[in-house]
């Protein structure tokens, strides 16, 4: 059998990609074709078939083949004796995010899971793709190029795991380890092309030092420079990544660091997830959820390494590294959900909780990104301690890569515990039970002490407000008037009956405004918490809120201040053991 696709975009402003799927020498008398329901790396059912229209099938003589819908994502063809089949359809692409597809007069961007049908039972079939760009547009993709606008994929997984940017974008190039790297820039902002290229090359080189080689022939970074209001994020692929960012993120440096952190995170996915993966994450079932309890490692540890490798590549200082890490620790410890959901449960429930958060998520659930980030730190320290400073988390990843990348098999929890024992000589079963499968709190000061580091809790504006802002326990979403997003369980606001959805209009008779709020964390602009610097702990206050259009009065007693900042300070006179451990922790 021979399989090929033709991708056309005859009228970009209509937002429709046209796809022609040619199947030659097909041996069966019926065929089922399916559009995936989700994109690997984004654990959410999105039902991409809802964007398909005008699907038709004909045989080699041009005669129509009967098509019938089998389920929400699958069509059945009654092709009978026809061996050569052509299927045509259109896909509406008007959602510019890292896990969807977009087409307009400025460019075309696509994830294959949103665009290409596969033949059930034949996902391993080699496929060729021909792209017919609009006007003089060019094409950038990690797919193997076999001719002008012609590409080849060894199977469906590879085809859809290679995002494609089509347009008049800019391309920057550099080489590391004899491999070409392309940086695609769609859009304009305050970027410095030379700096972006230089800094990303440093990130690539720092990861090369861990693994000794780069596991691809060519790699493509696709960057969409968008407005601040657009959704951001990144998505990993086997030979590339797509990252959507605010077009003005590139300066000042405090902002630029966020961009570099996402790049570092997504690049590490080359190993963690794409080649060192939980057993459940491949081969993929594209029709339904693929459950795994190991996303805390697959994604959370990637968060941890994203920040760590900026330090090792010289792009941030040790002070910056600890500042970012300690802010994440503070945010983690704010969330009651960390005590109600284990890392194991957080991973398994990602399909129904992470991408579809409810108003009580903060209290009941915690992201495997955040919890896994903390566990990456904890496991790194424990490996260093167990091996007396001779090995680190780097060694675990090298071991897993050598063991599981060769045959393409994924690892299980049992495999992970075995690998830990093989590199440290110790049994980590108790660690796994306590910190992965249960919700035992992490004693961060105890772990930091092994590195000669002290955790300090700080109140901002302490000179003006020495006691700090009193605690109410309400969280607001930025840009939604003063509407409550979440009320922290057990807080004064929770006890007083403040509820998600309440619009706070006044406090003690004064209009409630942005003056009474602050960002929940420095690098997280979406959520805010209260900042009541006009009041003190123990004050009895009145809140007036609109609840479903009715004015309601609540009374509450303000609690003790919650610190604004965690700071990590290296001891002036650490022991030799602490010096050794800290150096291993930072340098691997």
For residue 298, the domain's CATH number is 1.10.390.10
Together in a domain, 83 and 159: yes
- Nearest-angstrom CA–CA distance, 489 and 474: 10
In a domain, 195, yes or no: yes
Together in a domain, 163 and 175: no
In a domain, 189, yes or no: yes
pLDDT for position 525: 65
pLDDT for position 466: 56
pLDDT, tens digit, 9 for 90 and up, residues 184-211: 999 999 999 999 999 999 999 999 999 9
pLDDT for position 565: 87
- Nearest-angstrom CA–CA distance, 357 and 360: 8
Query: 270 and 215 in contact (C-beta within 8 Å)?
Result: yes
Average pLDDT over residues 335-352: 96
Q: What angle do CA 446, 452, 453 make, to 5 degrees?
A: 70
pLDDT for position 459: 79
Domain boundary among 252, 280, 300: 252
pLDDT for position 404: 87
Average pLDDT over residues 455-463: 76
pLDDT confidence tier of residue 461, bands split at 50, 70 and 90: low
pLDDT for position 458: 85
For residue 511, the domain's CATH number is 2.30.42.10
- Nearest-angstrom CA–CA distance, 522 and 561: 18
**Domain span holding position 511:** 474-562
In a domain, 415, yes or no: yes
pLDDT confidence tier of residue 90, bands split at 50, 70 and 90: very high
Instruction: Count Cβ atoms below 10 Å from residue 152 Cβ, excluding itself.
Output: 16
Together in a domain, 283 and 411: yes
Average pLDDT over residues 359-384: 96
pLDDT, tens digit, 9 for 90 and up, residues 517-568: 988 887 666 789 999 988 999 999 999 999 999 999 999 999 998 888 899 9
Together in a domain, 162 and 173: no
Together in a domain, 488 and 507: yes
- Nearest-angstrom CA–CA distance, 90 and 18: 5
HEC secondary structure over 102-150: EEECCEEEECHHHHCCEECCCCCCCEEEEEECCCCCEEEECCEEEECCE
In a domain, 125, yes or no: yes
* 334 has a pLDDT exceeding 70: yes
In a domain, 445, yes or no: yes
Check residues 564 and 582 and name the one with the higher pLDDT: 582
pLDDT, tens digit, 9 for 90 and up, residues 278-333: 999 988 999 999 999 999 999 999 999 999 999 999 999 999 999 999 999 999 99
pLDDT for position 524: 66
As a whole number of Å, the CA-based R_g of the chain is 26
Place of tokens 């063991």: 403
In a domain, 570, yes or no: no
pLDDT, tens digit, 9 for 90 and up, residues 156-188: 999 999 999 999 999 999 999 999 999 999 999
Structurally, how many domains does the chain consist of? 4
Together in a domain, 12 and 74: yes
Together in a domain, 300 and 387: yes
In a domain, 572, yes or no: no
> What is the helix (H) or strand (E) element at residue 372, kind and residue range?
helix 368-386
Together in a domain, 209 and 288: no
For residue 147, the domain's CATH number is 2.60.40.3650
- Nearest-angstrom CA–CA distance, 404 and 279: 10
Q: What is the DSSP letter of 296?
A: I
Q: What integer best gives the mean pLDDT of the chain? A: 95
Together in a domain, 362 and 290: yes
N residues, the chain: 588
Together in a domain, 290 and 339: yes
Place of tokens 């797919």: 143
pLDDT for position 119: 98
Token pair, residue 113, equals: 């899971």
pLDDT, tens digit, 9 for 90 and up, residues 384-443: 999 999 999 999 999 999 998 877 789 999 999 999 999 999 999 999 999 999 999 999
> What is the helix (H) or strand (E) element at residue 321, kind and residue range?
helix 318-334
Average pLDDT over residues 118-138: 97
> pTM for this one?
0.95
pLDDT confidence tier of residue 462, bands split at 50, 70 and 90: low
pLDDT confidence tier of residue 92, bands split at 50, 70 and 90: very high
Together in a domain, 157 and 209: no
pLDDT for position 338: 97
Together in a domain, 435 and 520: no
Burial class, 353, CB count within 10 angstroms (exposed 0-12 / middle 13-18 / buried 19+): buried
In a domain, 577, yes or no: no
- Report the candidate in 575, 529, 535 with the shortest Cα–Cα distance to residue 558: 535
Token pair, residue 416, equals: 């992970």
pLDDT for position 564: 83
């Amino acid at each position: 059998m021979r399989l090929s696709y033709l991708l056309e975009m005859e009228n970009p402003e209509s937002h429709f990609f046209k796809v022609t799927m040619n199947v030659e020498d097909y041996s069966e008398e019926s065929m089922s074709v399916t559009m995936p329901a989700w994109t690997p790396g984004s654990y959410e059912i999105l039902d991409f078939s809802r964007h398909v229209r005008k699907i038709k099938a004909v045989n080699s003589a041009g005669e129509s083949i009967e098509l019938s819908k089998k389920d929400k994502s699958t069509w059945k063809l009654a092709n009978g004796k026809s061996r050569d089949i052509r299927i045509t359809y259109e896909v509406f692409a008007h959602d510019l995010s890292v896990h969807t597809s977009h087409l307009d007069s400025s460019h075309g961007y696509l994830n294959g899971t949103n665009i290409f049908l596969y033949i059930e039972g034949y996902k391993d079939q080699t496929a060729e793709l021909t792209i017919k760009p609009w006007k003089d547009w060019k094409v950038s993709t990690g797919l193997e190029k076999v001719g002008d606008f012609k590409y080849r994929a060894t199977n469906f997984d590879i085809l859809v795991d290679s995002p494609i940017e089509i347009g008049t974008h800019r391309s920057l190039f550099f080489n590391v380890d004899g491999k070409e790297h392309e940086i695609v820039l769609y859009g304009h902002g305050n970027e410095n092309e030379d700096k972006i290229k230089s800094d990303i090359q440093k990130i690539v080189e720092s990861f090369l030092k861990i693994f000794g080689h780069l596991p691809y022939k060519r790699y493509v970074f696709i960057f969409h420079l968008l407005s601040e209001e657009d959704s951001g994020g990144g998505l990993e692929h086997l030979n590339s990544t797509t990252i959507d960012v605010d077009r003005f993120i590139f300066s000042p440096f405090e902002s630029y660091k966020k961009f570099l952190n996402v790049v570092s995170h997504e690049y590490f996915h080359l190993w963690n997830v794409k080649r060192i993966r939980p057993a459940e994450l491949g081969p993929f079932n594209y029709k339904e959820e693929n459950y795994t309890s190991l996303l805390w490692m697959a994604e959370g540890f990637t968060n941890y390494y994203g920040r760590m490798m900026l330090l090792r590549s010289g792009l941030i200082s040790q002070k910056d590294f600890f500042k970012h890490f300690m802010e994440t620790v503070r945010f983690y410890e704010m969330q009651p959900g960390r005590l109600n959901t284990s890392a194991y449960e957080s991973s398994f429930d990602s399909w129904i909780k992470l991408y579809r958060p409810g108003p009580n998520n903060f209290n009941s659930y915690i992201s495997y990104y955040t919890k896994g980030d903390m566990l990456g730190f904890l496991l790194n320290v424990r490996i260093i301690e167990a091996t007396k400073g001779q090995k680190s988390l780097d060694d675990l990843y090298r071991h897993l890569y050598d063991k599981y990348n060769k045959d393409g098999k994924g690892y299980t929890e049992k495999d992970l515990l075995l690998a830990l024992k093989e590199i440290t000589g110790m049994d980590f079963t108790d660690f796994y039970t306590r910190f992965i499968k249960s919700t035992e709190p992490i004693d961060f000061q105890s772990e930091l002490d092994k590195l000669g580091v002290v955790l300090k809790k700080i109140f901002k504006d302490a000179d003006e407000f020495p006691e700090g802002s009193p605690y109410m326990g309400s969280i607001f979403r930025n840009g939604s008037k003063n509407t409550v997003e979440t009320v922290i369980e057990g807080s004064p606001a929770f006890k007083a009956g403040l509820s998600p959805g309440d619009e706070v209009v006044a406090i003690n008779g004064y209009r409630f405004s942005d003056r009474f709020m602050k960002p929940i964390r420095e690098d997280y602009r979406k959520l805010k918490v209260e900042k009541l610097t006009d009041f003190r702990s123990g004050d009895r206050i009145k809140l007036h809120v609109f609840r479903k259009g009715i004015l309601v009065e609540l009374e509450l007693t303000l609690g003790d201040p919650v610190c604004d900042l965690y700071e990590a300070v290296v001891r002036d006179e650490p022991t030799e053991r602490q010096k050794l451990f800290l150096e291993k922790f930072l340098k691997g």
